Structure 1
Amino acid sequence: MKYCPECGKSLADETASFCDNCGAKLAATAVAAPQPAVVAPPENEEKSTAIAAICSLVIPGLGQVYNGKTERGFAIFFGTVIGLFIFIIPGAIVWLFGIYDAYSLTYKMNNKEIPFLPTKTAHLLIFIILAIVTVAVVAVLVALLAFAAMFSHMAPPL
């Protein structure tokens, strides 16, 4: 079956000089049927379990962002920060879970147990910047609180 090169409709008469649908002039032979684009499956990409675990060790949640799970990374990061303020142990537990989770996500992606998600460099950079800003803000607040506590016991002169 032949198709019009202008509108893509099938031609009832393959020897026609003009398209019945759009009126376009047809060459001596009309074009063959358009072939659907074949999308090649992604190559056997793999991520490093060591890099994922080390990322989460350095910055909690960064290993999840490396694995394409940005929301999960932010949840682990803020869970760790909040947990460290409540008590050190809850924060450490969330942090250790984040390391294990990043490792296991990578392992499962590499073994095709879960869908492979590409690493989004922009998400990594945004996550690192937000983590640094968050830590800086928290450090400044802790320093201000310590400074205020240090001078709060001093009585003003009479």
Structure 2
Amino acid sequence: MPSHETDGGNEPERTDDGVNDAERVRGGAGDEHRGGGVESGSRERGPDEAFCRECGTVIDADARYCPDCGASQTGGPRASPGSTIDRLVEDLLEGGNPFVAAVFSALVPGLGQLYNRELEKGLVVFVASVLAVFSTAILIGFLLYPAVWLFAIYDAYTVADRQSEERDEAERGEPSHGTR
């Protein structure tokens, strides 16, 4: 419990940091060092700034500790999305995962191509699979649909694999070897 200092007069009690409760509520004197003032939490974040994980104050993006509350900005229970399930979901949804692309194409031919961000190819494969289904009425579809389906799976997997390799090379700063 903080020690209270009084001078015996009518002045409000002050805590160890020299701020009385009325000043703290108003965000007044002495509160600036903790980010309790009106200005610290209300300004917009700039391009090289981030919000503190504890108090929400705008701080330098590379800061290891918040200058207002002293909270660590690395590791701990509020770790960055790079070490949580958020990163896994982000990786799965951004494209480039060969397994996910193949599964999507196995479910619906053309969906894996859309996952790989190949809109035109995805639409062509989807339309081809629909036409192949309708051509089963004249028995050609029994051979045509499996061919379209297998092509969609193979193409989605190989394109996603290539995109993944290109992204990994770009992250490492290696020159691209071009397409295969």
TM norm structure 2: 0.36
TM norm structure 1: 0.41
More RCO (CA 8 Å, sep 6+): 1
